A = this chain, B = another copy of it.
Amino acid sequence: MKIKNQDFLKKENLILVLKLISDYGPISRAEISKQTKMSPTSASRIVALLSEKNLIEEVAMNHQNVGRKASYFDLNKNGIYFIGVELDNSYFRIGLMNFNEELIFKKTVALQKSFPDMVVKQLANEIYKLKKRFDLTDNQILGLCVGMPGIIEHKQGIVDFSVQLQWKNYPLADRLYEQLKIPIKVDNELKMKALSEYKFCDDSVKHLIILGFGSGVGSALISNGEISRGKSNFAGEIGHTIVDPNGAYCPCGNFGCMQTYIAEPFLLNEASKIKQVDSLEELLQEVEDGKVWAKNLISRAIQYASIAINNTVCSFNPDLVILSGSLIENHPYIQEELLKEYSATIWSPAANSFDVEITKTKDEGVVLGAAIQMKNHFIKNINL
């Protein structure tokens, strides 16, 4: 039994004013009051509170009109920050995002070792350097969010299980907090990337799904602005949906999981039956050289990627499907072929129900999305 009381209303309105300033700032108190239909007193009270918390700042404005000077307010863009981190099995990326959701600094660092405690140390060390470089106090960093592959218990920030990093039940948020003493979140990388794609897509998009074709196959859905997580945050794990029960053996123990036909390690493993290739680049070189065996392998991957699009469209009925992952982002041939081929595989009543786009955020996506997730979390839990 949850009663919507005055406190709830106050918080909702605080968030509303913050969003208004975020979207339309610099903006005056009078305009805030007009747009939100709040009384001038309420609007002024909220503006004062947000200023006090250092979230907005008064800005100088030049006016052509003569008359009483109004105060204008904008986000405190360069006073407070959120840190987004992308963690993979061989590197991590750090991004420093201002309150206006702009990445003002990015860095990629090779992972020295992938043991969890070592990763925490190395990452913390980079954050210390970042703070020093930008002369940031702890009060200016409102939180850090890590996006990484695997099943992540996002409420506590525990890595339940990550095949890529070979971690299990690791309390990453707690360990990072011990080092950094700032709010920490941990979440699934593709869900984070979906957030940053959502930021850049048209306002009319209500149900966005991102597909990732890379070292594995996955998806993430944002529906009416909310990440679809399901019970334990693995909604979208389509890599282990079965698309051919008599198909290839998957390390999970099932036959014909989606990822076995598309993901990079599986393609290289198949290729090795014919010729040792060490990367997708090498495999695609074979295609370019006219090798039929290589063409067959890539064509099959594209066929199954089309099936992935069809199956997610039937399951989730999105208005926008975004294609991402190393296969798409690094290999124009695969991207082009998939865009040419997929429509023949879509269930006909669904054919015109969605658009397909290539990721706009590319290798910034996870870092930016993680920082946005931290910002959203901060705003949702803002203290009155």
Contacts and interface: CB of A to CB of B under 8 A. Distances in A.
Contacts of A257: 347
A231 B206 contact: yes
Given A237-B314, A319-B231, A12 B1 contact: no
A231 B245 contact: no
Contact of A5 (B37, B253, B319): B37
Interface stretch (A84-92, A222-230, A362-370): A222-230
A244 interface: yes
A292 to B, nearest CB: 19
A314 B257 CA distance: 11
A245 B302 CA distance: 12
A36 interface: yes
Interface string A302-318: 01100100111011111
Contact of A242 (B1, B223, B310): B310
Nearest to A24: B1
A29 to B, nearest CB: 16
A16 interface: yes
Given A37-B5, A245-B243, A314-B237, A349 B151 contact: yes
A243 B240 contact: no
A238 interface: yes
B36 A252 contact: no
A321 to B, nearest CB: 11
A311 to B, nearest CB: 4
Given A3-B36, A20-B1, A353-B232, A238 B12 contact: no
Contact of A13 (B4, B206, B312, B316): B4
A42 to B, nearest CB: 10
Interface string A239-268: 111111110000011100100000000000
A9 B3 CA distance: 10
Interface string A120-141: 0000000000000000000000
Nearest to A303: B245
A348 interface: yes
B243 A3 contact: no
B318 A231 contact: yes
Interface in A98-129: none
A240 B317 contact: no
A230 B245 contact: no
Contacts of A36: 1, 3
Given A241-B314, A244-B244, A244-B245, A254 B1 contact: no
Nearest to A353: B232
Nearest to A11: B4
Given A253-B348, A304-B245, A231 B353 contact: yes
A297 interface: no
A342 interface: no
B350 A234 contact: yes
Contact of A234 (B235, B304, B317): B317
6 contacts: A207-B231, A234-B317, A234-B350, A240-B350, A241-B315, A242-B243
